[in-house]
Amino acid sequence: MSSPAPRTVITFGTFDVFHVGHLKVIERAAALGDRLVVGVSADELNLRKKGREPVFSQGERLAIVAALKPVDEVFVEESLELKRHYIQQYAADVLVMGDDWAGKFDEFGDICEVVYLARTPAISTTALIEKISGGS
């Protein structure tokens, strides 16, 4: 008897100034399948989207995410518009995002399951940067 095909989960993020909220979403995403693939957004994409460079470069952010136990594979997310392509390229069965993105990726429900997980409260890269730089 053949065993069922492994279930691939994909998630995306910047993961800048890596914190426990990032860890939790990655752990919970991994628990939804057998293999976790993470798209780490490119420096260029961040600059375009947020108007500032990330604190850590894409090479550093990729290395941190790739070293996590629940992560099987990482790649650079070059554009937000390429989500469908990445889901297909990595043959993902499930797309997981934090619920700050709720509803935004429902269109991919035709090719995979789309799951939004509750964000970890009271922690964000922006708040950390402000705290570290003495802002609050």
Residue 71 in the binding site for ligand C2G (CB under 6 A)? no
Helix-, strand-, coil-residue percentages of the chain, each rounded to 5: 40, 20, 40
Residue 54 in the binding site for ligand C2G (CB under 6 A)? no
Q: Which stretch binds ligand C2G (CB under 6 A): 20-28, 68-76, 85-93, 106-114?
A: 20-28
**The binder of ligand C2G chosen from 9, 37, 41, 65 (CB under 6 A):** 41
DSSP-based three-state secondary structure for 10: strand
DSSP-based three-state secondary structure for 98: strand
Instruction: List contacts with ligand C2G (CB under 6 A).
Output: 12-16, 21-22, 25, 41, 77, 80, 97-98, 100, 119-120, 123-124
